[in-house]
Structure 1
Amino acid sequence: MRFHPGRSFLALVSALTITSACSSGPTLTYELHHELGVHFEAAGTEGAFVAKRIGTDDIPIVYNAVRAREPLPPAETFRPLATLVLLETETVGSLDEPLTWSGEGAYVQDWHRTHSLRTALTDDAEWVYQQTADEMGRDPYEVWINRLGYGNTNVRGGQGSFWMDGTLLIDMFQQTEFMALLASESQPFDRSAVRDIRNELATIAGDGWTMTYQEGRVPGSGTEDRVGWLVGIVEVGDVEWAIAMNMDVDWDRTIDPDARVNLTTTLLEAVGITSNG
């Protein structure tokens, strides 16, 4: 077991260090925390959690490793990368360039107005990403997704939004890799664009820590429960963590809309990342 500075002893004593081989991916070593299951049970759901200290060789903290390695559509968690690609390719000139809805597609009524990439991020306007993807085509996405090794790198199947329809898939370890890239000084995108996008993501703060995050909801069929994503970067002093959490969410949205955020902050404290103990 490796000691993580800033984490309490109590958060470490129940952890197991596991090395796991999987036919669908590389061998991984991680710190397994079975005890986190009580927090998912208390929230009335099932899920998984991964946290990796950025810029170190520390092994990731994991709950439910089998689920964490399951590839899923990134859904709305793809938006930070999509925004960077749209800016990098100059498909959209800036975060504030006005984008006019074409009138095609059935979307939430509040989205049917002029947006920008900035407001699309903050107001959850899906049409912006669908329409700009149709205009730009998939080739630029394919180039950047392959360059970054994002998920399974597939953008070619399906007829709709490839980040929603099961064409592009990503697991939780890969999600933390991309979050770490956003926090890195060595990432390949324009640094000012990355900073601007991070500033537009949702943020919650506690005693000595800040979490910047993006949520997503994997589409389901009929009344099947969906999977809700939360991915982000947690800053604790001068230490940064890349995190990913997913959980089952009701198809009719009866689960508390803040459940993912509340559960994630509980998990962060339970493993000693944000606790002062």
Structure 2
Amino acid sequence: MAAETTQSNRMLSIRLLVFGLLSLLLWAAGPAAPAPAITERNLQPQFDQYNVQGSFLLCEEPAGRYVAYRLKRCRQRFLPASTFKIPNTLIGLQTDALSDTAEICRWDGVKRSFPQWNEDMTYARALRVSCVPCYRQLARRVGVARYQQWLQKLRYPGMVVTPATLDTFWLGGKSRISQFEQVDFLRRLQAETLPIEKRHQRAVKQLLILRKTPAYTLYGKTGWRFRSARNPDNGWLVGWLERADGRRAFFALNVEPRPGPVNDDQFIASRRAVTEAVLRELGWL
């Protein structure tokens, strides 16, 4: 009986010790960060107006509140397409694969369906016109190892880079990113807290300006994953709006055409049109 009591006391002591250690670890880690406040809004009319379907996410600063249309879809991941030109340019500059955004990308002489791609251009212009051939050239200079290293440092998730997909991984394959993840990355870029030289962050931010007025500055980058036999078109506009009163709103739009024949020009224009319509609805424009 005495042996059983001793064994029981030992087990109790071990449990108390474990409980104490866990309590100490939790105390050292500090209180858990509260979940961000998310308000869901019905923004269907703004999408219907341009014959597209999709989702929209907005984060208001300094409050850190989110507004979401189709919250579940905002957490779904999609290929980043040309929105990846933002981290791609930063990585190119930081690794010296790109000397600066004034560096000239030489046209390879292949005529493509986008006339603005069929010429020599600076990388500043290549970002603005989403010139895929220029960024495929840059990707081959960066290389797999440096992408894997810097994507982890930037906490830019979901990219799958292999030797076989080195110059296309953001356009096809298994790479995926969500609207929440896009917004998180943009917030750190805007604050210049990425592990990239500040001069490079500032240079890229300047290239993202879509419109500047006395009342606000609108920053953004589009993306378009072209349709295939298996997948529909998928479009992005990610960015932020800075108001003269100091408030900011970060956003990520992801859209697809409604079922039926696709008007490419209408779909291309819908990304910015829907975004601006939503920003007006939410009182930011």
Q: For the superposition of Structure 1 and Structure 2, which TM-score range results when normalised by the shorter chain? A: 0.7 to 0.9
Contact 1:107 1:127 in 2 (8 A): no
Which piece of structure 1 moves more, 102-111 or 146-155? 102-111
**1:198-250 C-alpha deviation (Å, 9 max, x unpaired):** 22224135672221110000232149531110000111221122110111137
Change (3 A) 1:242 1:210: same
2:92 aligned residue: 86
1:139 aligned residue: 145
The CA deviation at 1:57 is 5.5
Contact 2:159 2:170 in 1 (8 A): no
1:72 aligned residue: 78
Which runs of structure 2 are paired with 1:166-245 in the superposition (5 Å)? 166-205=173-212, 208-222=215-229, 225-237=232-244, 238-245=246-253
Change (3 A) 1:45 1:123: closer
What's the secondary structure of 2:100's corresponding residue?
A: coil
The CA deviation at 1:152 is 1.4
2:15 aligned residue: none
For 2:59, give the aligned amino acid. Answer: K
2:283 to 269, 272, 275: 272
Contact 2:110 2:118 in 1 (8 A): no
**1:237-265 C-alpha deviation (Å, 9 max, x unpaired):** 21122110111137550425432212111
2:105 aligned residue: 99
Q: Percent of aligned positions with the same letter in both sequences?
A: 23
2:158 aligned residue: 152
What's the secondary structure of 1:170's corresponding residue?
A: coil
**1:171-201 C-alpha deviation (Å, 9 max, x unpaired):** 0000101111110132221222222222222
Contact 2:238 2:251 in 1 (8 A): yes
Unaligned runs of at least 5 residues, structure 2: 1-33
Change (3 A) 1:240 1:156: same
What's the secondary structure of 1:189's corresponding residue?
A: coil
Cα separation, 1, equivalents of 2:185 and 2:95: 19
For 2:142, give the aligned amino acid. Answer: M
What's the secondary structure of 1:198's corresponding residue?
A: helix
Change (3 A) 1:205 1:43: farther
TM-score, normalised to structure 1's length? 0.79
Which piece of structure 1 moves more, 150-159 or 135-144? 150-159
1:128 aligned residue: 134
Cα separation, 1, equivalents of 2:208 and 2:51: 27
2:272 to 250, 261, 268: 261
What's the secondary structure of 1:60's corresponding residue?
A: strand
Contact 1:225 1:251 in 2 (8 A): no
Change (3 A) 1:86 1:251: farther
Aligned alpha-carbon RMSD (Å): 2.6
For 1:248, give the aligned amino acid. Answer: E
Cα separation, 1, equivalents of 2:68 and 2:263: 29
TM-score, normalised to structure 2's length? 0.77
What's the secondary structure of 1:165's corresponding residue?
A: coil
**1:91-131 C-alpha deviation (Å, 9 max, x unpaired):** 12111122324457967454233222112112322111111
Cα separation, 1, equivalents of 2:104 and 2:163: 30
What's the secondary structure of 1:197's corresponding residue?
A: helix
Cα separation, 2, equivalents of 1:106 and 1:96: 23
Unaligned runs of at least 5 residues, structure 1: 1-26
Change (3 A) 1:230 1:112: same
What's the secondary structure of 1:129's corresponding residue?
A: helix
2:254 aligned residue: 246
